[in-house]
Structure 1
Amino acid sequence: MKLKGVKKENLPEKVCPVCQRPFAWRKKWERNWNTVIYCSKKCGQAKRHLK
């Protein structure tokens, strides 16, 4: 996904299933944006503890 020159308000967003907050695309997720589920490591760990 090439997003060079895209304004911040036009970046793709997802909703975190743990905290229900929207989070936007980040450069570090450029190669695996399709597999990103949680907004942070904290939410990813919280989901594991809820099971």
Structure 2
Amino acid sequence: MLIATPPRCHRPDERLDLRVSQAGLSESSRSPGVAAHERVMVLLVSRR
């Protein structure tokens, strides 16, 4: 449900990797719902 459509390409994106890792680290200090929402927003922004 988090990912509506599969990614078109599997090219590694350093910026996306960094943002995802930061969102993962924020899970310990924030609620899981907020962290999940941030991850979804990162995915949506990276699709543009």
Q: Is the structural similarity TM-score above 0.5?
A: no
Which of the pair is proportionally richer in strand?
Answer: 1
Which of the pair is proportionally richer in helix?
Answer: 2
Larger Rg: 1
TM-score of Structure 1 vs Structure 2, range by shorter chain: under 0.3
